[in-house]
Chains A and B, each alone.
Chain A
């Protein structure tokens, strides 16, 4: 919203501050000024010049050196205009001036001769689209006079205020309301010409003739109140310069005297209005009603619009004339032939106007104001002000009949009264009594048109009706009025006194931090974050079974229209993108997956995923090792369930994947059970799904459901074992087995020996191929007794027992 400081000065005398200072105070006290525009200031620098001599430029045929007088001094410029001649009076622009066409004059030499500015053409001053030669002023133009005086050009300062910062202030959508803010901020008196006497005078213009147009408002409509007045004998012309200038300055295009008046009054008083050509209304009544069936309507902007049941219109016998609160119709608008008018000033329900305007995508100056909730008490004043201007421009026009009204009874509206605890207000703001005295509080509120009366420690505050529509509703709102007018820069920062208590992260947050750190430091993985929103196409590509769950109503694109049921599809997509740039990569994400729930609409779980890609060799074991190390280091109680999906799927369901998902590699897959349930999975991506994403190489994934782990404290179960006082003994042996045997199964074959307390552990030293079908596996076993040194006899017997156990299990010693 643009505001003109000239216009503001109709109501309040602004202090002598620079435009920037005024704007800063307004920003700090009321609403953000986004831009300060100085309008027409250049006229003050332009002066009437009289040409004294014209000489050819020494180095350019088409240029002249022109000397001219400004009365008190002489100047010289280089000029190419053909009409320049001795005695001509024209307009001189000195260097430093920015012309309306955007050109800033700088001192420069033109072909070696210094030019001290410019003699202007109409085109250069934006007075004409094109012009030949420089301006020729009448012979009596006073030499040296500034052009703003000679042509009576005004200048103005325009503040462009951020509309968003005015959303809650319907009273600031007109200059009078804005002027009240300046009056309060700068402690200046506010002069409102629209007094009670003025209202009386205007009301006296009604007469006893029958009103040619009456009003009927139907109860179901969006209407709150509707005033209408008929005026005859109007002549539609151009509005006077001052009005055109003001409208232009705040960004509205002047159209004709009547339309300009309606815009002008709206911008002055903040209430939109509409003026009909009364002769284009069929019948003698306008009816305000809600549409019951869909219909088509051509608005002023010449667009055919579809109206639906529920939209409110102002209609005559034929049909809609105006879309209530939004825009008039093309048919009933004022034209140059109009002589009889009907002035409408109405109030509409904010939400209804907003609904219709949002649906139509039609946001107008009018709808923008109505959707802020306007005050019906201001309607009548707005109408009289409109009439005042109509009569001013058309002295012969006359009111026909009386002011017509239909709508809610406006006479007995009870104002809002609030209690303000002044001590509490000061405490909340953090201001002392010397910074904000009781008297000061009262002054501020009264300048803003609140009426105050002391009531014990409190102040009883009557809120002006135009602030009570939505903006001011409780004590805190009054505190804001005080704070912003005093200025928050008076509030000094202060640390509160608070009891000291330990503050820790939650168990979940601690776990997340640990996991992240592990992944970065030990997982050697880069952390990524992908969209929680995915598209059906991606899920289908990943052959993911859960599609179209938690779909958005108003997604921006089909690629992000539903909540991801798993991190996997997004991460496979990430691999496919990165495989173009990297031969190998490892990354992780700690993010949420979303599932529909019959109980609570949706459920969210945190999942951790580590993904590793290598273009040549499978990273499965690397990922598995990282996973196991992470589980151990994080004190997560787990066990690994080796799977062979080629032989069938496990019976228990997995919390992360459907066992039938084709993305699982038949052999490179291990489930992580946490507290007996499948909550984690290490797997390689099946070539089938790899192909879907055009990934060449190998991808392995570790996925962990954090939900069952987050809630409980993960205990560090480390128990210290005293170091052995007696030496242990190592025994290596090599067994032969089939090439396809899993080494773990050889170790598992030693389970029968688990009661031999001296057997500390058996580990694999080496595996090597013997031939096409067999391999040799070297095992190392440690025997140790905490109490004594083991005897040779014992060791021999134990070793024999070990070898025998292996043999029985089908793992004979290598010969």
Chain B
């Protein structure tokens, strides 16, 4: 009987293999396990068997019944999966047909590289307690020159090629102009605050200058100022080193040397150890190992006074940073004029935010 059962199972397996539809499989199931199915018949015949026979055949019969059941189930599941996958194959998507390779309907967005750098630097200063200010582009000679210790006949006015508006009077040097530096915001910042305070002021500045690959008549600067009691050159160096480390993501060696700017005294040029050659000397640093990066200094007492601050009690430092130069350094941009060209072949290269 056991042999009969084994044979029966083998025959079942053989038949199951050849079936490929759900109906055929269900029919096969009925043929074996249905009321009149072959296995059922065998089981039924058990009641005529001796108790010993029952004891030995029973479990085997049950086992074969279970096996058939699970084989059927597995076959059905496999069949269903195949059917689903077949239909997926029919509806198969070309997953390489991405926006990125489309000529049309390829939406893209990205910040202007200038803003990427400005935001990064704003955030570094914010984290160190500096406010972020801005002011008008159209200024008067007081905010751009007078209050910054650059009186009418000062040679420094020659250094600044200023765009003047029609109310300019060359005799008095008065009139409206496009700000030549963000230092104008220093003046406004001081007039609106009481020490101690510290702020930065990024923004557009304007110079009456012929444009070429490295010169623009409109460009961005970032001005910074800190005023309080006993502010020192040591503090200035600390902040400059810190900010440069954050910008360049590595320790940057700096040096200060005398530089003349009417609104600071002492005034400095801050050089950084050349990042290209690490100070060995290359074409970028003109073989000196140092690259001039930013002007800075201790705020001139006359400037503090013009800003309504008691210059005997308070002092401060100020610095200016050419943002566009950093942008060009960061991305290796070869022509500053691209920044304001609105040529999307340029802009679309900047996809980050």
List A residues at the B interface (Cβ < 8 Å): 27-32, 164-165, 167-169, 350-351, 354, 358, 371-372, 427-430, 474-477, 479-480, 483-484, 488-489, 491-496, 498, 500-501, 503-506, 509, 513, 516-517, 519-521, 523-533, 550-556, 560, 563, 570-571, 573-574, 577-578, 581-587, 589, 592, 594, 601-602, 604
How far, in angstroms, from A68 to B221 measured CA to CA in the complex? Answer: 65
The distance from the CB of B226 to the nearest CB of chain A, in whole angstroms, is: 8
How far, in angstroms, from A503 to B105 measured CA to CA in the complex? Answer: 42
Encode B304-342 as 1/0 by CB contact (under 8 A) with A: 000000000001000000000000000000000001101
Contact (Cβ within 8 A) A491 B237: yes
A sample of 24 inter-chain contacts (CB < 8 A) reads A358-B158, A428-B233, A429-B233, A430-B232, A476-B298, A477-B265, A484-B257, A484-B258, A493-B241, A494-B237, A495-B235, A500-B129, A516-B115, A524-B109, A526-B108, A526-B109, A529-B112, A529-B342, A550-B138, A552-B164, A554-B163, A573-B342, A581-B344, A602-B136
The distance from the CB of A694 to the nearest CB of chain B, in whole angstroms, is: 17
The distance from the CB of B333 to the nearest CB of chain A, in whole angstroms, is: 13
Contact (Cβ within 8 A) A587 B266: no
- In addition to A358-B158, A428-B298, A526-B108, 16 A-B residue pairs with Cβ atoms within 8 Å of each other are A31-B258, A428-B233, A429-B233, A475-B301, A489-B256, A493-B234, A521-B109, A532-B218, A552-B166, A554-B208, A556-B211, A577-B342, A578-B342, A582-B344, A587-B342, A604-B136
Contact (Cβ within 8 A) B164 A553: yes
Contact (Cβ within 8 A) B342 A555: no
The distance from the CB of A372 to the nearest CB of chain B, in whole angstroms, is: 7
Contact (Cβ within 8 A) A516 B111: yes
* B353 contacts partner chain A, Cβ-Cβ < 8 Å: yes
Across-interface contacts of A585 in B (CB, < 8 A): 344
Contact (Cβ within 8 A) B353 A505: no
Q: Which residue of B110, B132, B257 contacts A27 across the interface (Cβ within 8 Å)? A: B257
How far, in angstroms, from A583 to B103 measured CA to CA in the complex? Answer: 8
How far, in angstroms, from A261 to B162 measured CA to CA in the complex? Answer: 39
The 6 closest A-B pairs by CB, nearest first: A430-B234, A480-B266, A351-B153, A524-B107, A574-B342, A430-B232
Contact (Cβ within 8 A) B155 A350: yes
Across-interface contacts of A581 in B (CB, < 8 A): 344-345
Contact (Cβ within 8 A) B129 A498: yes
Across-interface contacts of B162 in A (CB, < 8 A): 554
Q: Which residue of chain B has the shortest Cβ distance to A570 in the bound complex?
A: B342
Across-interface contacts of B108 in A (CB, < 8 A): 524, 526
The distance from the CB of B92 to the nearest CB of chain A, in whole angstroms, is: 28
Contact (Cβ within 8 A) B210 A519: no
How far, in angstroms, from A96 to B152 measured CA to CA in the complex? Answer: 54
How far, in angstroms, from A492 to B235 measured CA to CA in the complex? Answer: 9
* B168 contacts partner chain A, Cβ-Cβ < 8 Å: yes
Interface core residue of A28, A529, A577 (most chain B CB under 10 Å): A529
Contact (Cβ within 8 A) A28 B344: no
Contact (Cβ within 8 A) A30 B234: no
Give B119-173 interface residues, CB cut-off 8 Å to A.
119, 122, 126, 129-133, 136-138, 140, 152-153, 155-156, 158-159, 162-168
Contact (Cβ within 8 A) B300 A601: no
The distance from the CB of B14 to the nearest CB of chain A, in whole angstroms, is: 55
How far, in angstroms, from A31 to B257 measured CA to CA in the complex? Answer: 8
Interface core residue of B130, B208, B210 (most chain A CB under 10 Å): B208
The distance from the CB of B153 to the nearest CB of chain A, in whole angstroms, is: 3
Q: Which residue of B107, B111, B233, B343 contacts A430 across the interface (Cβ within 8 Å)? A: B233
Contact (Cβ within 8 A) A488 B268: yes
* B259 contacts partner chain A, Cβ-Cβ < 8 Å: yes
Q: Which residue of chain A has the shortest Cβ distance to B128 in the bound complex?
A: A503
* B68 contacts partner chain A, Cβ-Cβ < 8 Å: no
Contact (Cβ within 8 A) A525 B132: no
* B21 contacts partner chain A, Cβ-Cβ < 8 Å: no
Give B249-266 interface residues, CB cut-off 8 Å to A.
255-260, 265-266
Q: Which residue of chain A has the shortest Cβ distance to B157 in the bound complex?
A: A354
Contact (Cβ within 8 A) B166 A488: no
Contact (Cβ within 8 A) B238 A494: yes
* B347 contacts partner chain A, Cβ-Cβ < 8 Å: yes
Contact (Cβ within 8 A) B217 A505: no
* B62 contacts partner chain A, Cβ-Cβ < 8 Å: no
Q: Which residue of B136, B176, B230, B267 contacts A480 across the interface (Cβ within 8 Å)? A: B267
Across-interface contacts of A372 in B (CB, < 8 A): 155
Q: Given that A429-B233, A488-B268 are contacting pairs, would A531 and B208 also be in contact in the complex, using a CB cutoff of 8 Å? A: no
Q: Given that A167-B260, A480-B265, A553-B164 are contacting pairs, would A491 and B233 also be in contact in the complex, using a CB cutoff of 8 Å? A: yes
How far, in angstroms, from A354 to B226 measured CA to CA in the complex? Answer: 35
* B204 contacts partner chain A, Cβ-Cβ < 8 Å: yes
How far, in angstroms, from A526 to B345 measured CA to CA in the complex? Answer: 10
Across-interface contacts of B266 in A (CB, < 8 A): 476, 479-480, 483-484
